[in-house]
Amino acid sequence: GNSVTQMEGPVTLSEEAFLTINCTYTATGYPSLFWYVQYPGEGLQLLLKATKADDKGSNKGFEATYRKETTSFHLEKGSVQVSDSAVYFCALSLQGAQKLVFGQGTRLTINP
The residue type at 5: T
Looking only at the bridges linking them, the beta strands covering 32-38 and 86-93 are antiparallel
* Residue 81 CB, nearest approach to other proteins (Å): 23
* Residue 67 CB, nearest approach to other proteins (Å): 17
Q: Which residues bind other proteins (CB under 8 A)?
A: 31-32, 34, 36, 41-46, 49, 51, 89, 92-105
Looking only at the bridges linking them, the beta strands covering 106-111 and 56-59 are unpaired
Nearer of residues 19 and 44 to other proteins, judged by Cβ: 44
* Residue 94 CB, nearest approach to other proteins (Å): 7
Nearer of residues 31 and 62 to other proteins, judged by Cβ: 31
Nearer of residues 78 and 88 to other proteins, judged by Cβ: 88
Buried b (16+ CB within 10 A) or exposed e, 3-33: ebebbeeebebeeeeebebbbbbebeeebbb
